[in-house]
A and B are shown apart, each in its own frame.
Chain A
């Protein structure tokens, strides 16, 4: 049974810092991995999708890496802004469903 763990559970940083969110999974036979953002009371917004054959994906200030063999992914946020404050969720896909971690609550202080 796939288990997804996200560390840290919560993070508070001053504006402008670069930061890393971690995601680990127990079953490396994945199809892809997605990072989502969730604002309070809202649904999930897809940030990045990494196919199992890829090592990383970039979008603006976001960079996600995937090491399938070790069961790890990281989301790197450069030059953090208060608007980045949200819960960040990673999810692994075996081609039939997404299994989510519990998320990292990020607060960027101005």
Chain B
């Protein structure tokens, strides 16, 4: 079974630039999550989708972050404009349904300079 795929693995951008990350969840998984992990901390949920609908985006900085999951399969997370404090690893995860075991991708390491 293929796991959660994310791209790119690494990205370096200057502050005020924009960036986009892509995630393809495990086939058949209805629930998709985007987490932000700052160095030395545990992952923090940014947004959760159930199929193509948003379940929870309470911790998403909506003035600069946006995410979509068109057709209820793969998803993109965008940051525009980026700030220095956005430097982190962005992890995508999926589960069959809410509350089921979550499987994580390799993550995208973003460095904002």
A100 / chain B contacts, CB cutoff of 8 Å? 42-44
Contact of A98 among B45, B55, B105, B107 (CB under 8 A): B45
Q: State in angstroms the CA–CA spacing of A9 and B29 once bound together.
A: 33
What size tier do the contact residues of chain A reach? Answer: 20 to 34
Contact of A95 among B40, B99, B104 (CB under 8 A): B99
Interface contact tally, CB-CB below 8 A: 56
Main DSSP-derived SS at the A contact region: strand
Interface residues of A in 66-110 (CB under 8 A from B): 89, 91, 93, 95-103
What size tier do the contact residues of chain B reach? Answer: 20 to 34
A45 / chain B contacts, CB cutoff of 8 Å? 104
Residue of B nearest to A103 (CB): B42
A43:B101 contact, CB within 8 angstroms: no
B106:A42 contact, CB within 8 angstroms: yes
